[in-house]
Structure 1
Amino acid sequence: MPYTTLVSAQTLQAGVKDPDWIIIDVRHDLADLAAGRASWAAGHIPGAIFLHMDEDLSAPKTGQNGRHPLPDRAAFATKLAQLGINARSQIVVYDAQGGMMAARLWWMLRWLGHTAVAVLDGGLPAWLAQGAELSTEAPANRPIGDLQLLTTAVGTVSADEVLANLATQSRLVVDARGPDRFRGENETLDPVGGHIPGARNRCFRDNLQADGHFKSAEILREEFAAVFGDTPASAVIAQCGSGVTACHNLLALEIASLPGAALYPGSWSEWCSDPARPVATGG
C-alpha cells in the first residue's frame, strides 16, 4: 500500500533500506540559496538525494512568471527518471521547515501522475527525535528509472484564468502566505504588497501542530470549512507567494480528504508583476 500524503519518522526508519524507497531532501532558505545544499552536505537522512528549489524544481524566471515557475512536465519527469525514480518507487520528501518546501515536490510528483509520494511528517527534526542518524555520504548512483508522465487529475490555473474569475467568482482563491503579507504589510519578497481581490487567507503554518507535525484530518477539515464556507474544495484555487507554500495547503486538503483544489503556480509573484492586474490590501 503506497504512502500518498504523510510518512512518520518511525515508518521511514523501517523503509530507508528498501531499494524501492527513494528519499529526497529539499531543504531551502529563500534568503540564502546555498544553505539547503550545504545543510544536506553537512548531514542528511541516509541515502537522501538533494534537489534544489530554484535549480531543480523551478523553470528559469523571466520577471513575469513568478519566483518559482513550474518546469516543463516532460523535462522534469526525465530528470527524475535519471535519478533512478521508477513507476514503482515510493518517494519520501523532507525538509526542516514543517513541509514548507517538501510539499512542493509532493505536489509536483502528483502533477506528473506519480501518487506514491509522501512528506516526512515533522521533517528532519522528527527524524532526529527518533534517535536516527544522519549521513554525509552521497547516495550511490541508481540505474535510470522508468518514470513516465501519466494522466493526472492534479490541476493548475493561469493568471488569465484567475483574472477572469474576478468577474465570475465561480472559484475561491485561498492564499497560503502569512496574514501580514496577505494584508500587504511587511512585504520583503515581492515588489508589491497585497493580495488578489476576493482571496481568503489560510496561512500554511496553520496546518501544523506546535511540534511541527500536521494536524489531524478531522481538525483540518473543520478549519478549512471555516475558510471555504459553502465552496467545495474542487472549486478552490490555491496560491501563495510563488506557488510553493500553496502546495502545503493542497497537501493538508488531501490529508483532510478534501481533494480537487487547483494550484495557481505563478501566485502573487506573477500576479503583481503586471500593474494592470488589480491588487487588494487589508484583511
Structure 2
Amino acid sequence: MAFTTIISADALHDLIVAHAPLLVLDCTFDLTDPAKGRAVYAQGHIPGASYVDLEEDLSGQPDGANGRHPLPDRAAFAQHMRRLGLNSGQQVIAYDGNGGHFAARLWWMLRWLGHDAVAVLDGGTAVWQAAGFTLEPGSTPAPDAGDFTPGAPLVGAVVSADQVLANIASGEFVVIDARDPARFRGEPHPLDTVSGHIPGARNRFLRDNFDADGKFLSPDRLAAAFRAVLDGAPPEKAVMQCGSGVTACSNALAMEIAGLRGAGLYPGSWSEWTADPARPVQTGA
C-alpha cells in the first residue's frame, strides 16, 4: 500500500532495509541562505536520498510580479523528476530539516503532476535521528532516468491573483493564510515588502499543525482546527496561501491528513499579491 500523506521514521527505515524501490528526496532549505540546504545535505542525509533545491528545482523564474517562488512549468518539472529517477507509481518520500514545510511543497507538486505515491517524513531529519537512525555524508550517485509520465492533477484548484481579487467580493472560496499571526495582522517582517493580509483571508498558522516533537497532530485534531477556520465551508472551497506559495502546502498536507480533501492553492501568495500596489491589503486579526 502506498504512503500518500506522511510516513513515520520507523516505517521509512523498514522500507530502506527491505530495499523497497523508493525515491527519497531531501528538500532542506534556508530562505535566508539559499546555499545552506545543499551544504547540510552534503554533511549528512538519509541513506540513498537525492537533493532537491527549492529555488532551482521546485520553483519557476521570479519576474518581479509572480511572487518569490512561482510554480515551474509542469512539463519541465516532470522531466526533472524523471532525471531524478522517478518511475510511474514509485513511492516517493520527501523530507527536510525545516519541519517538513519544504518537503510539503514537493508533496503538493508531485500530486499536481498526478503522482499519488508521495509522502512526507513526519518530523523530518530530527525525528529520523531521534529514532537512532543514521545519516550518510556526501551525495547519492545519480540514478538512471525514470519513466514517469504526468497525469491528471490530484490537487484542488490552482488559483490566480485575479481569481483571488474577484473572490474578495464573491466569497466563492475561503483563503487560508499559513503565515504567523503577527505577519497576518500586519506587523513588519523581513520577507514582506507590504504588511497585512488579503482582505477576507483567515489565518491558520502552519506551526499549529504540529506537536512538541515536530510531528503532525492527529487527524481528528487537525480536522477540528480546520473545520473551525472553514466555518461551514466545504474543504474543496479552501485555497491555501502563505508568503510565496511554499509553506501553504504544509497546510494543504495537514488538511489531507485530516481527511479534508480538495483544497486549492494560490501559488503566488502574498509576495505576488503585494507586487501590484493596486491590490487591496487588510490589517488586523
Partner residue in 2 for 1:48: 49
Q: Which of 180, 197, 200 does residue 198 from structure 1 map onto?
A: 200
Which structure 2 residues correspond to residues 216-231 of structure 1 after superposition, within 5 A?
Answer: 216-231=218-233
Q: Which of 232, 236, 239 does residue 237 from structure 1 map onto?
A: 239
Is 1:138 matched up with 2:139? yes
Partner residue in 2 for 1:9: 9
Which structure 2 residues correspond to residues 65-144 of structure 1 after superposition, within 5 A?
Answer: 65-144=66-145
Does the 8 Å contact 2:84/2:145 carry over to 1?
yes
* Pairwise CA distance, 1:101: 1.0
Paired AA for residue 224 in structure 2: E
Does the 8 Å contact 1:20/1:88 carry over to 2?
no
CA deviation string 1:190-243 (max 9, x = no partner): 210110000000011011011100000000011111111111111111100000
Identical amino acids, percent of aligned pairs: 54
Paired AA for residue 169 in structure 1: G
Does the 8 Å contact 2:89/2:115 carry over to 1?
no
User: Normalising by the residue count of structure 2, what TM-score does the alignment of the two structures yield?
Assistant: 0.98
Partner residue in 2 for 1:264: 266
Does the 8 Å contact 2:194/2:274 carry over to 1?
yes
Which one is further off, 9-18 or 40-49? Answer: 9-18
Partner residue in 1 for 2:35: 34
Is 1:22 matched up with 2:23? yes
Supply the distance in 2 between the matched residues of 1:264 and 1:190 (Cα, whole angstroms). 17
Which one is further off, 262-271 or 178-187? Answer: 178-187
CA deviation string 1:4-53 (max 9, x = no partner): 00000001111125251011001111111111000000111011100110
Supply the distance in 2 between the matched residues of 1:281 and 1:148 (Cα, whole angstroms). 44
Does the 8 Å contact 2:46/2:136 carry over to 1?
yes
Q: Count the aligned residue pairs.
A: 283
Gaps of 5+ in 2: none
Which one is further off, 81-90 or 71-80? Answer: 81-90
Partner residue in 2 for 1:280: 282
* Pairwise CA distance, 1:137: 3.4
Does the 8 Å contact 2:9/2:127 carry over to 1?
yes
Q: Which runs of 4+ in 1 moved over 2 A?
A: none
User: Normalising by the residue count of structure 1, what TM-score does the alignment of the two structures yield?
Assistant: 0.98
Q: Which of 167, 188, 191 does residue 189 from structure 1 map onto?
A: 191
Does the 8 Å contact 2:3/2:117 carry over to 1?
yes
* Pairwise CA distance, 1:281: 0.6
Supply the distance in 2 between the matched residues of 1:97 and 1:80 (Cα, whole angstroms). 22
